[in-house]
Amino acid sequence: MSKTIMIVDDSMSMREMVALTLTDAGFSVVKANDGVDALSKLNGNRVHLIISDVNMPNMDGMTLLGKIKANPSYQFTPVLMLTTESREDLKQKGKELGAKAWMVKPFKPEMLISIVNKLI
Amino acid sequence: MIISAPEELNIFNVEALYSSIVEAEGQDLTLDCGNVTEVDGSGLQLLCYCQQQQLASLINLSECIQSAAPLLGMQDLLAAKD
Amino acid sequence: MDLVQIFVDESFEHLQALEEALLELEDSPGNAELINTAFRAMHTIKGSAGMVGFDHVSYFTHHLETFFDRVRNGEFALTAAMSSLILECRDHIKSLIEQQSPPELMVQSEALLARLHQLAPVTQSAPATAPAKSTVSEADSLAGYWRIEMTPHTTTFTEGFDVLPVIRELQGLGESLVSYRWHAPDTPFNPLSCMLHFTLLLSCNVPRSSIDEAFMFVEGDWQIQIEKISVLEDARLGDLLVENGVVSTEQMEMMLDSKPRTGEVLRDKGIATDHQINQALQQQEFIRKQTQSQDAPQQTLKVPASKLDSLMNLVGELVIVQSAISQHAVETNDDKLKTIAEELAMLTAGVRDHTFDIRMLPIGSTFGRFRRLIRDLSVDLKKEVRLHTFGAETEMDKMVLERIGDPLVHLLRNSLDHGIEMPEVRAEKGKPREGSITLGAVHEDGQIKIVIKDDGGGLNTDRIRQKAIERGLINEHSQLNDDHIHQLIFEPGFSTAEKVSDVSGRGVGMDVVKTSIESLQGTIHISSHAGQGTQINIYLPLTLAIIDGLMVKVGDEHFILPLSAVEECVESPREYHRQGPRLIKHRGERISAARLREAFSITGEGPAIEQTIVTRIADERFGITVDEVVGQHQTVIKNLGKMYRQVRGLLGATILGNGNVALILDVADFYEQCKYQLAQSTLGANVNVKPH
C-alpha cells in the first residue's frame, strides 16, 4: 500500500513539481493551496507526511503546523517544511512547533525523496 | 478472547490497543494481526512486548508485519504461530 | 596436483604472509592483527605439515606457533632481534620444505630454536596483566564491521518519527544485522514511548558518511554510537553478551571459570534469556561471515598455471577463427551469417575477458618480497629507508607480473644504492634521516603504470651527459634537454656509479631493465630533480597475448599497431620524396615521423594521399606514415619465427582471417630506431631506417 503525502503550497508550479517527484517515487499525493485548504482536505483522512510551504495566503505554514500538531488525529504526523526561508529563527520556531525537517527551495528531486524516505 | 489489531498498527492506535490488552489481563488472550496493513516502530514494539510478557499470543501476522519485523531485528515475532 | 604440492604451495603463501606481517609489525609494533596473522601462518603450516608427513616441519613450526601465541597473549613484546630471528626461521622453514628436511638442516633447526628460547622470556605461570582488549585503528585495518548502537529518544514516536525508516536506510547500505533490546527493562511499559535500543552490525565497506547521513534528522535526539570493530578472531559469545549489556563483565568472568558452554550456562542460571542469547549467536554468525568474506581472496581454487596457459592459447585460436567468420560474413554479405558472427563475436569477447580476468593477479602479492629486499639492503648499506607502497590491489596479467619482478628489484636496488643518501648526508641537506622509496601501481588509460619514486639525490645530469659523450652515445654538440639526457641511463653499458657496489652491480642493469620492460610491450621513463629525488614510471599493457590493434596497409603488406599507442590518424598529401624520418607539423607541434614503406623496404610507391598515425610513447608523439588505414582489429600475437627474432621494431605477427600474415609493430622500439636515425640525419647524415 502506497503511503500518502500532503503537499501544501500556494505556488501551483511548486505543488506540481513536488507532486510529480513524489508520485514518481510511488507515493500517493494530496494537494492543498494553503493552510485553510490543507485542514479542510485533511479532515480525518490518513496522511503519512505533510510537506508545507511557509509563506502562504489565508493561513501560513507556521500556523498550519501549530494546528496540525494540536489535532489528535495528526499530532504524530511528521511535517516537512519546504520553503525559500532559511532564517535560523524561523527554523527554530518550526522545530519547536514540531516540524521534523526543514528543506530550502529550490530542491533536487532525489534529495526530497531521500529525506522523505528518512521520515516515513 | 481474541482482540483484532487495527489496520493501522501505529502510534495513533497503539495506546488504545494496549489499553484493551491490559483490560483483558488474566484472560487467555489472542491478538489477531491479520488485518494489519500498516505498522510502525511503535506497533512492532507493542507486539514484541506482548509476546515477551506473554500478555497475548499473536496470530495471523500480516504480510506487512512479516516484512517490517526483521528490519528491527524482531524475527522472533514471526515465530508466532499462524 | 598431489597433496604434497598443495602443501608446499600453501606453505609458501603462509611463509609469505608471515614475512609480511613481521615487516609490517616494524611499522606498527604490537598490532594484534598482524601478530595473529603470524600465529595463524605457523599454526596452519604445523597442522598441514603433520598431515603430509613433513614431521620435522611440523615440529619446528610448533615452537614458532607457541612463540607467537605467547606474544599474542601479551606475555612479552616482539623485539627487533626476535623479528630478525623469526625471519631467519622463516627462510629455514622454506629450506626444510624444499629440501625435505635433510639431517644437516635438522641440526640447524635446533640451533635456531635454542636462540629463539633464549630471546623469549621464561614462561610465567600466568600473565601479570590481563590481555589488553585488541583494538586496531580504522586506518590499520580493512577487515571488520561497524557496530552502531542507537537509543532513540523516548518521544521519537510521538514526535512523528519512526525508527523504521532510519534502520531501513542503514540496512540498505550493506550487509547488516540488527538486534534490539529494551533500553531500560525496569521502566513500566508505555506504548507511546520508544523503549527500545537497537544494535546494528554493518559491513565495513560502507563509508562512515553514509551512516551519518541516515541519522540526519535524529542526531542530537537519539543516542548514537558508531564504532568500527576490527575482526581479529572469532567473536566470542560471552564478549557479545557483555557488549549487548545482557551480562556484566563480572558475571562473565565468573562463568568463564566454570568451563561449560557459555550460552547454556547463562540461560540455565537465568542471567540471559533465549532471545538474548539467540541475538548474540546471530551476531556471532554475522561477524564470522564478515571475517570469512575478508579472507575470501585466499580461499581460492588452485589450478596449475599450465592449464591456464592452454586455456589462453585456445582463446587465442578462438579469437582468430571468430574474426575469420566475421570477415567471411561481411564479404559474402550473408545476413544470417552476419547475425551469427556478431553473436559469436560477443561471446568470444566474453570468454576472452573472463579468461584474462582469471589470469589477473594483484601486484600487491609481490610487494612483500620488495619490502624484505629494501629492509635487508638498507641494513647492508647502513642507510635508513622506508618503503611505501600503494595500489597493492591493482591487477595485472600473471605473466606480466612474473616478468616484471626482476626489473623492479633492479630499479629498487638502484634507488636505494644510488638514490637515497647516507643518513648523515641527508641530515646535512635538511632532509629527514630516513629516506623514502615509494612503489605503487595504478591503472591509467587502459595501461598499468608502475611508479618507483625516491626522495634521494636525483640524477646528476652533467655527469650523465659527460659519460654519454665519452661512450659515444651522444655527440658533444647534441642539443638535448635534461629529460632526454636522463633517459640515456637506459642505454646499453651505461653506469655513473662512482664505484661499483655489491648491490647494484656493474651498471649492467638499466639497459637490461629497459629491454625487459620493452619485451613486455611496456615503456619506461625516468624523471629526476637534483637534490629532490627520482621517479621512474613504467607503463605496461594489461595483457600480453591479445591486443586491440589498428590494422594498416603498406603496399600489399598488413601491419598492426597496438591501439593503446595510437592517438589519431591524419591524412596528408605525400609532399616530397624525402627519404628517412622527417619532422611533420601536428597540431602546432613538430613531431618526427617515419614511413613504414621505407623502414621495411617495401617496394613500390605510396599513394598520393598518405595516412599518418600519430602515436604516443610515454610522453612523446611520433608519426607512422602508411598507405591506408584498414580499421580496428583484435589480434592474437604469435611469436615470430627465429628468422625475425632479430628484427627490431616488431612485436610479433598474427594470422588474419583470410589466412594472410600481418606484422605487429612494436611502436616504442620502432620509434627508438627512428629517433636515432633522425638525430643522425639532423647532424647531416641521412640513413634509411632499416631493421638490423
CA dist., res. C529 & res. C664, Å (int):
37
- Testing the interface with C: which of B10, B31, B45 to mutate, by most C Cβ within 10 A? B45
Higher pLDDT, C242 or C565: C565
Q: Is A76 on the interface with C (CB under 8 A)?
A: yes
Give the H or E element holding residue C597.
helix C596-599
Strands A28-32 and C447-454: unpaired
Distance from CA of A37 to the nearest CA of B (A): 23
Residue C362 scores a pLDDT above 70 = yes
> What was the pLDDT predicted at C680?
61
Higher pLDDT, A23 or C289: A23
Q: Is B37 on the interface with A (CB under 8 A)?
A: yes
- Is residue C58 located within the same domain as residue C77? yes
- Is residue C93 located within the same domain as residue C161? no
- Residue closest to A66 by CA, chosen among A42, A94, A30: A94
Query: Would you state the torsion angle of the CA atoms of residues C335, C338, C344, C350, taken in this order, to the nearest 10 degrees?
Result: -120
Distance from CA of B42 to the nearest CA of A (A): 12
Nearest to C164 among B14, B49, B71 (CB): B71
What average pLDDT does the segment C448-467 reach?
87
Through-space distance between the first and last CA atoms of chain C, rounded to whole angstroms: 46
| Residue C255 in domain | no
Residue C198 scores a pLDDT above 60 = yes
Residue C654 scores a pLDDT above 70 = yes
Q: Which of C229, C258, C274 is the last residue of a domain?
A: C229
Which cell numbers hold the place of C81? 632481534
- Is residue C590 located within the same domain as residue C665? yes
- Is residue C65 located within the same domain as residue C166? no
Give the H or E element holding residue C615.
strand C609-617
Residue C87 scores a pLDDT above 70 = yes
Q: Is A119 on the interface with C (CB under 8 A)?
A: yes
- DSSP assignment string, C625-686: EESEEEEEEEEE-BPPPGGGTT-TTEEEEEE-TTS-EEEEE-HHHHHHHHHHHHHHHHTT--
- Is residue C659 located within the same domain as residue C592? yes
The Cα-based distances of C427 to A82, C435, C437 in angstroms read 62, 10, 17
Question: Contacts of residue B40 in chain C, CB cutoff 8 Å?
Answer: 157, 162, 164
- Nearby residues of C525 by Cβ (< 8 Å), 6 or more positions away: C487, C536, C537, C538, C539, C618, C619
Question: Are the C-beta atoms of A8 and A61 separated by less than 8 Å?
Answer: yes
Check CB contact under 8 Å for B8 and A76. no
Q: Which of C211, C229, C247 is the last residue of a domain?
A: C229
Residue A65 backbone dihedrals phi, psi, to 5 degrees: -55, -45
Q: What percent of chain C has pLDDT over 70?
A: 78
| Residue C587 in domain | yes
Residue C36 scores a pLDDT above 90 = no
| Residue C132 in domain | no
CA dist., res. C187 & res. C247, Å (int):
19
Residue C601: domain span: 546-682
- Residue closest to A120 by CA, chosen among A93, A81, A80: A80
Total number of domains in chain C:
5
Nearest to B38 among A1, A73, A76 (CB): A1
CATH of the domain at C351: 1.10.287
Considering just the CA atoms, what is the radius of gyration of chain B in Å?
Answer: 11
| Residue C131 in domain | no
Residue C542 scores a pLDDT above 60 = yes
User: Would you give the distance in Å from CA C55 to the centre of its chain?
Assistant: 35
Q: Which of C60, C84, C119 is the last residue of a domain?
A: C119
Question: Contacts of residue B15 in chain C, CB cutoff 8 Å?
Answer: 191-192
- Is residue C11 located within the same domain as residue C111? yes
Q: Is B78 on the interface with A (CB under 8 A)?
A: no
Check CB contact under 8 Å for A120 and C214. no
- Residue closest to C558 by CA, chosen among C323, C317, C318: C323
CATH of the domain at C157: 3.30.70
Nearest to A117 among C158, C159, C165 (CB): C165
CA dist., res. A43 & res. A5, Å (int):
14
What average pLDDT does the segment C108-131 reach?
64
- Other chains touching B, judged by 3 or more CB pairs under 8 Å: A, C
Question: Are the C-beta atoms of C552 and C629 separated by less than 8 Å?
Answer: yes
Check CB contact under 8 Å for B12 and A1. no
What average pLDDT does the segment C571-576 reach?
72
- Nearby residues of C190 by Cβ (< 8 Å), 6 or more positions away: none
Question: Are the C-beta atoms of A99 and A71 separated by less than 8 Å?
Answer: no
Q: Using DSSP, state whether C561 is helix, strand or coil.
A: strand
| Residue C124 in domain | no
CA dist., res. A98 & res. A78, Å (int):
8
Check CB contact under 8 Å for C164 and B49. no
Q: Is B67 on the interface with A (CB under 8 A)?
A: no
Question: Contacts of residue C162 in chain B, CB cutoff 8 Å?
Answer: 11, 40-42
| A86-100, C191-205, C622-636: range with highest mean pLDDT | C191-205
CATH of the domain at C32: 1.20.120.160
CA dist., res. A34 & res. A30, Å (int):
12
Reading across the β-sheet that carries C582-586, which strands appear in turn?
A: C566-573, C609-617, C620-626, C589-595, C582-586
Q: What percent of chain C has pLDDT over 90?
A: 2
Distance from CA of B45 to the nearest CA of C (A): 8
| Residue C79 in domain | yes
- Is residue C169 located within the same domain as residue C87? no
> What was the pLDDT predicted at C465?
84
CATH of the domain at A53: 3.40.50.2300
Q: Is A72 on the interface with C (CB under 8 A)?
A: no
Judged by average pLDDT, the poorest of A70-84, C337-351, C356-370, C649-663 is C649-663
Q: pLDDT per residue over C268-299, tens digit each?
A: 666 677 777 777 777 777 777 766 555 444 44
| C51-55, C286-290, C597-601: range with highest mean pLDDT | C597-601
Check CB contact under 8 Å for B11 and A1. no
Question: Contacts of residue B48 in chain C, CB cutoff 8 Å?
Answer: 180
Q: Using DSSP, state whether C304 is helix, strand or coil.
A: coil
- Residue closest to A75 by CA, chosen among A104, A102, A40, A42: A42
Check CB contact under 8 Å for C191 and B46. yes
Residue C459 backbone dihedrals phi, psi, to 5 degrees: -80, 150
Check CB contact under 8 Å for C163 and B46. no
- Is residue C612 located within the same domain as residue C666? yes
The owner of cell 643518501 is: C421
> What was the pLDDT predicted at A112?
83
CA dist., res. C470 & res. C463, Å (int):
10
Largest CA distance in chain B: 32
> What was the pLDDT predicted at C173?
83
- Is residue C455 located within the same domain as residue C312? no
Q: pLDDT per residue over C464-501, tens digit each?
A: 888 888 877 787 777 778 888 888 888 776 765 444 44
- Residue closest to A50 by CA, chosen among A86, A99, A89, A2: A99
CATH of the domain at C472: 3.30.565.10
Q: What is the mean pLDDT of chain B?
A: 85
Question: Are the C-beta atoms of A51 and A5 separated by less than 8 Å?
Answer: yes
Residue of B nearest to A75 (CA): B12
Residue of B nearest to A73 (CA): B12
Question: Contacts of residue B36 in chain A, CB cutoff 8 Å?
Answer: none
Question: Contacts of residue C278 in chain B, CB cutoff 8 Å?
Answer: 76
Give the H or E element holding residue C592.
strand C589-595
pTM given for the model? 0.41
Check CB contact under 8 Å for A76 and B38. no
Question: Are the C-beta atoms of C594 and C674 separated by less than 8 Å?
Answer: yes
| Residue C74 in domain | yes
> What was the pLDDT predicted at C237?
65
Angle separating helix axes C103-119 and C80-98, nearest 10 degrees: 160
Residue A49: domain span: 4-119
- Residue closest to C628 by CA, chosen among C549, C551, C552, C550: C552
> What was the pLDDT predicted at C579?
65
Q: Is C275 on the interface with B (CB under 8 A)?
A: yes
Total number of domains in chain A:
1
Check CB contact under 8 Å for A119 and C217. yes
CA dist., res. C164 & res. C511, Å (int):
66
How does residue C620 score in pLDDT terms, banded at 50, 70 and 90? confident
The owner of cell 598431515 is: C51
CA dist., res. B57 & res. B80, Å (int):
7
- Is residue C389 located within the same domain as residue C530? yes
Nearest to C160 among A77, A117, A118 (CB): A77
Question: Contacts of residue B37 in chain A, CB cutoff 8 Å?
Answer: 1
- Is residue C607 located within the same domain as residue C648? yes
Which cell numbers hold the place of C130? 590481563
Distance from CA of A118 to the nearest CA of C (A): 5
Distance from CA of C172 to the nearest CA of A (A): 12
Residue C266 scores a pLDDT above 80 = no
Check CB contact under 8 Å for A100 and C158. no
- Is residue C537 located within the same domain as residue C577? no
Question: Contacts of residue C161 in chain A, CB cutoff 8 Å?
Answer: 78, 100, 119
